[in-house]
Chains A and B, each alone.
Chain A
Amino acid sequence: MYYLWVFLIGGFICMLGQVLIIYTNITSARILVTFVIIGVLLQAFNIFDPISSVARAGINVPIIGFGASLAKGAMSAVKAKGLLGAFTGGLEATAGGIAAAVVFAFIFSLIFKSKTKN
């Protein structure tokens, strides 16, 4: 049953992105940046976890989740390591995703070629 919530909340967040595209004409990079910042803010004010417990993938799969784990990493590392944690925590928490994106992009760009649009 929680799949319904995943679908509805996930779909709604993506639709907000589309609203930005239609009404402000902004491009991919700006949309992604906007949503990452939203994620960081949600986590900073501790709103992310309550939403996440209902929405699950609906908010973790959108790039908001990426922003939230950056902030979450920084916040919990600050607790353990002090100031240094603020610098190491964020990237540590998201290292998996970034590294995966980089390595897959590298491999596939060696294998494939970009094709023209029709």
Chain B
Amino acid sequence: MHIHQTVIFRHKPVIIGSYSIVGPKEGKGNFGPYFNYVMKDDCFGENTYEKAEKKMIQSAIVGAIENAKIKPNDINLMLAGDLLNQIISSSYAARYFNFAYLGLFGACSTIAESLAVGASLVDGGEFDTVVCSTASHFSTAERQFRFPLELGNQRPPTSQWTVTGAGACVIANEGNGPRITMATFGKVIDWGIKDVNNMGAAMAPAAMETMIAHFKDTDTTPDDYDLIVTGDLGKLGSEILIDLMEDNGYKLGINYKDCGQMFYTRNQNTLCGGSGCGCSASVLNSFLIKKLREGEYKKILFMPTGALMSTTATQQGETIPGVCHAIVLESDVNSDQIKENKKRRNKKV
């Protein structure tokens, strides 16, 4: 069933397994303890960074399938995407699996796009079990979008750091785990930002548009969610989003957070914070899903944003279009179980 841009799922597909892999720098960041695997070096045993990124997606999918306690043969479809041209990391990783494959591109919003599409397919009964994955790698993104690694230049204060990380999750029509209850598909929004070092500002209007559409379609307000989390708007972008939402009559309080802004610690020198597909994907598949499973968060609005630009378009003087997809995740843990969990944890301590 859908209202305008929002799909409300009847059967509420379940995220039955999740897995995250990050690079060494990310392992030292704020979410460090939550990740399933922290790589020792960001080549991941391969000789190029592109191959490492491909291997990260591969390992994340294998990890998520194991985490879901199912067999690889149970998976019907793989939905994946990344930042590289022709989404090679995802497609090349898909060679190793015996699943049907759909490649998606939504830049840094890809994880939400794949979850929304996956949940729709599962909810409609078309597929039983779907795996979604995305990854990004600092060194591959840097080389494709910016400069050689060894070039001695300074990063502008508005720039963000591409997260080396991958996340994967398995969606099924039944099982235990957080449920996907709604999804809002976003429009492509461009408010005329040209500066490729200021992605937050380019994507904030898209986040605003999707957020307002979501609240209107579902008749909710920001207070109905324990957590509203954007993907990689970064420090500047999330401040802009708060302003834009206020102009539209919505007040985002302390329950609004941004993965990119929270990702790195202050002395990791990442200026406006983390970005990239891996940023939201790795946070979702570690921290957020864990907290949903424990019942600490009951209802999350997860809405990563993506800047749909390419170097060619930028050099031709094009502005940067942004897109944002939102999904609502609800914990399947009820309040009695939360109390029990807390008791058990207290006993352990």
Contacts and interface: CB of A to CB of B under 8 A. Distances in A.
Interface of A: 21, 25, 27-28, 114-118
Contacts of B142: 117
A53 B197 CA distance: 41
A25 B197 contact: yes
B150 A25 contact: no
A118 B25 contact: yes
Tell me what chain A mostly uses at the interface: helix, strand, loop, or mixed: loop
B151 to A, nearest CB: 6
8 nearest A-B pairs in the assembled complex, by CB-CB distance? A114-B149, A116-B139, A114-B150, A28-B153, A116-B42, A117-B149, A25-B156, A118-B25
Tell me what chain B mostly uses at the interface: helix, strand, loop, or mixed: loop
Contacts of A28: 147, 151, 153
Contacts, number: 24
A25 B195 contact: yes
Contacts of B42: 116
A101 B247 CA distance: 54
Given A116-B42, A116-B138, A116-B139, A21 B148 contact: no
A67 B42 CA distance: 40
What band does the interface of chain B fall in when counting residues whose beta carbon is under 8 Å from A? 10 to 19
A117 B153 CA distance: 12
Given A28-B153, A115-B150, 12 more contacts: A21-B154, A25-B156, A25-B195, A27-B147, A27-B153, A28-B151, A114-B139, A114-B150, A116-B42, A116-B49, A117-B142, A117-B149
Interface in B109-141: 138-139
Contacts of B154: 21
B60 to A, nearest CB: 20
Contacts of B147: 27-28
Contact of B148 (A25, A114, A118): A114
A116 B156 contact: no
A19 to B, nearest CB: 13
Nearest to B195: A25
Nearest to B41: A116
Contacts of B156: 25
Contacts of B197: 25
A115 B25 contact: no
A90 to B, nearest CB: 26
A103 to B, nearest CB: 18
B269 to A, nearest CB: 8
Contacts of A116: 42, 49, 138-139, 149
Contacts of B49: 116
22 contacts: A21-B154, A25-B156, A25-B195, A25-B197, A27-B147, A27-B153, A28-B147, A28-B151, A28-B153, A114-B139, A114-B148, A114-B149, A114-B150, A115-B149, A115-B150, A116-B42, A116-B49, A116-B138, A116-B139, A117-B142, A117-B149, A118-B25
A4 B264 CA distance: 43
Interface string B152-167: 0110100000000000
A101 B202 CA distance: 38
